Amino acid sequence: MTSLAEEAARRRTFAVIAHPDAGKSTLTEALALHAHVISEAGAVHGKAGRKATVSDWMEMEKDRGISIASSALQFEYQPEGHDGEPYMINLVDTPGHADFSEDTYRVLTAVDAAVMLVDGAKGLEPQTLKLFRVCKTNGIPIVTVINKWDRPGKAPLELMDEIVAEIGLQPTPLYWPVGEAGDFRGLLERGEDGEAKQFIGFERTAGGATIASERHLSPESAAAEQGDAWETAAEESELLSADGADHDQEMYLAGDTSPVIFASAMLNWGVHQILDTLCELAPAPAARESDPAAVEAASASGQAAIAEKREPTDEFSGVVFKVQAGMDAHHRDKLAFMRVVSGEFDRGMQVTHAQSGRSFSTKYALTVFGRTRSTVETAFPGDIVGLVNAGSLAPGDTIYSGHKVQFKPMPQFAPEHFRTLRAKSLGKYKQFRKAIDQLDAEGVVQILRNDARGDAAPVMAAVGPMQFEVMMARMENEYNVETVAEPIPYSVARRTDEETAPELAKQRGVEIFTRSDGALIALFGDKWKLSFIEKEHPEFTLETLVAD
């Protein structure tokens, strides 16, 4: 029997973040392939004759070749030369499109590390920068992967300079490319002070569907075989060391540096180096700070744990970071994805929902691999568990056993797009209401209501307009309700209070709504209207809706 501490120590829980089309889902599959949990990768989305990726299961995702919902994959991995128990990998593939950044933010609250995937031709893109800032704010260390090196792109040193200039993160390459972008010959493994340890060459496989075999050469043999390409890589590696670009574990964990690996997820080149690096360098699950204000009745040991910003390690606690329904047409259920924070989770155990104080049994608990489900009996810190039809769980909720603990709530992003939604057929009203409530609980969009519009035409509020398409597609496919979305003349939202709302509602170009969590939300026609009201009525409560 292994101890709780030993089980936690072998967990690695991380997310893959990037701009759209950087290859996140392709990399996710490649990682699963190298862990031998799938036998063949279906790498490319939307291409005739190719398989859909294991992590993309929505029809919209397959049709458009993008990730819309985050997907959790769990598998064991044994690095070469590692004699102990295999590592347990909890990998979360996240949406790359900016319209779904709120879903990605939720995922980043549930992981211990991140892989920042950068397109070798495009470099750092806007969504990548935004997600990096979220990681930085939450203290999540980052491993950078320069992807698509088999295609023409930027010079490797130029990409390193870009990372320093754009995000102030010092890249510390562990593996340096031999051959320029588009002429990917293999990797130079860097040692101390930029010393070239060895050359790693890869063999192409048909369509990159299977693991690429490797061959390893000494620096002398690599110089003889690769010629100028090797000499250039070795010189650049030494230049990096002269610039201080060598790995330092403390600086990496502090978020000041980022190990870098060059790869081609499509060809499966450099992929097992990514997995090995995460196992060796990424942090194991750590304690999470509680919200002391929410734990008034905690016991003495619970209060002590809160004061020390840790959880009692022998007691179970977990945080819900995502709720998802419709993952399988054969299972009309709802999955609440929970990250185990402390203690041991056992299927069937009685837990308490911190927000409501209600107790419930966890009889139906699953691990999820794409759309494939399997019952989980036990889980440990860092693991992600799907709880089936677990009452009223919502993103940000805490569940626990023993002393009360409650983690800080998950902030919601400020919506910038608004549409009314109604059913095409009045006869579908009951299904319409049910679908609205369930998809609202998942956080697909924010639902706003007021008496004037009624329940038949609530307002959808979203970060990006593609969220409306997902909402409508899921209502039709999962609930058999066709809907119509219509724009309304608002573009700015602010949180207000009961004292301000009556007077604010009298202003032209303003409408007051109640969000599902009870918050009062004021919508304004544009930022100039908001600015005018703020100037004329400084006494009004108007708070920005942004993620902390």
pLDDT single digits (tens) 459-498: 999 888 888 888 898 899 888 999 999 999 999 999 999 9
When mean pLDDT is compared across 416-425, 469-478, 503-512, the lowest value belongs to 469-478
Examine residue 406 and state whether it is found in any structural domain, yes or no.
no
Q: Please tell me whether the overall predicted TM-score, pTM, comes out greater than 0.85 for this model.
A: no
The residue with greater pLDDT, 492 or 366, is 492
- For residues 31 and 91, the answer to whether their CB atoms sit within 8 Å is yes
The reply to whether 352 and 457 lie within a common domain is no
Examine residue 166 and state whether it is found in any structural domain, yes or no.
yes
Is 243 part of any known ligand binding site? no
- Indicate which CATH number applies to the domain containing 357: 2.40.30.10
What is residue 301's predicted lDDT score, i.e. its pLDDT?
A: 41
- For residues 242 and 125, the answer to whether their CB atoms sit within 8 Å is no
The reply to whether 460 and 479 lie within a common domain is yes
Looking at 155-205, list the stretches that DSSP marks H as alpha helix, in order from N- to C-terminal side.
156-167
Reported as a pLDDT band with limits 50, 70 and 90, residue 118 is: very high
Averaging pLDDT over each range in 8-17, 230-239, 459-468, which range is the top one? 230-239
Domain of 512?
Answer: 417-544
The reply to whether 365 and 330 lie within a common domain is yes
- Judged against a pLDDT cut of 90, whether residue 120 lies above it is answered with yes
The reply to whether 121 and 234 lie within a common domain is yes
- For residues 152 and 126, the answer to whether their CB atoms sit within 8 Å is no
Residue with tokens 């679908």: 435
Looking at every residue in the chain, the average pLDDT score rounds to 85
In sign, the C-alpha dihedral spanning 398, 399, 404, 405 is negative
Alpha-carbon span 387 to 405, nearest angstrom: 19
Is 95 part of any known ligand binding site? yes
The reply to whether 233 and 381 lie within a common domain is no
The domain total for the chain is 3
Helix axes 219-226, 228-242, angle to 10 degrees: 130
The reply to whether 119 and 207 lie within a common domain is yes
44-82 pLDDT, tens digit per residue, is: 333 333 344 444 445 554 454 444 344 678 889 999 888
188-210 pLDDT, tens digit per residue, is: 999 988 899 999 999 999 888 89
What is residue 24's predicted lDDT score, i.e. its pLDDT?
A: 85
What is residue 49's predicted lDDT score, i.e. its pLDDT?
A: 38
Percent of the chain whose pLDDT exceeds 70: 84
Alpha-carbon span 395 to 410, nearest angstrom: 7
Mark which of 258, 281, 304 sits at the end of a domain. Answer: 281
- Judged against a pLDDT cut of 90, whether residue 157 lies above it is answered with yes
- Judged against a pLDDT cut of 60, whether residue 108 lies above it is answered with yes
The reply to whether 255 and 300 lie within a common domain is no
Reported as a pLDDT band with limits 50, 70 and 90, residue 117 is: very high
Q: H/E element holding 475?
A: helix 466-479
- Indicate which CATH number applies to the domain containing 8: 3.40.50.300
The reply to whether 380 and 238 lie within a common domain is no
What is residue 547's predicted lDDT score, i.e. its pLDDT?
A: 46
- For residues 109 and 119, the answer to whether their CB atoms sit within 8 Å is no
Examine residue 493 and state whether it is found in any structural domain, yes or no.
yes
What is residue 296's predicted lDDT score, i.e. its pLDDT?
A: 44
Amino acid at the residue 312: P
Is 97 part of any known ligand binding site? yes
Examine residue 112 and state whether it is found in any structural domain, yes or no.
yes
DSSP letter string, 198-245: EEEEE---GGG-SPPPEEEE-HHHHHHHHTHHHHHHHHHHHHHHHTT-
What is residue 336's predicted lDDT score, i.e. its pLDDT?
A: 87
Query: Within a 10 A sphere around the Cβ of 164, how many other Cβ atoms?
Result: 13
Residue with tokens 């002429």: 183
The reply to whether 357 and 261 lie within a common domain is no
The reply to whether 96 and 159 lie within a common domain is yes
Examine residue 524 and state whether it is found in any structural domain, yes or no.
yes
Alpha-carbon span 458 to 97, nearest angstrom: 25
User: 132: which 2 tokens?
Assistant: 């990096």
Mark which of 281, 315, 338 sits at the end of a domain. Answer: 281
Alpha-carbon span 104 to 322, nearest angstrom: 10
Reported as a pLDDT band with limits 50, 70 and 90, residue 414 is: confident
The strand pair at 350-353 and 359-361 is best described as: antiparallel
Is 395 part of any known ligand binding site? no
The reply to whether 171 and 54 lie within a common domain is yes
What is residue 548's predicted lDDT score, i.e. its pLDDT?
A: 37
Mark which of 259, 281, 303 sits at the end of a domain. Answer: 281
Examine residue 526 and state whether it is found in any structural domain, yes or no.
yes
281-333 pLDDT, tens digit per residue, is: 999 998 887 766 555 433 334 444 444 444 445 799 999 988 876 555 555 56
Examine residue 393 and state whether it is found in any structural domain, yes or no.
yes
Measured at the CA of 381, the angle between CA 375 and CA 385, to 5 degrees, comes to 30
Examine residue 287 and state whether it is found in any structural domain, yes or no.
no
- Indicate which CATH number applies to the domain containing 517: 3.30.70.3280
The reply to whether 22 and 156 lie within a common domain is yes
Among 371, 267, 356, smallest CA distance to 320 is for 356
When mean pLDDT is compared across 45-49, 212-216, 228-232, 377-381, the lowest value belongs to 45-49
* Cα Rg of the chain, angstroms: 25
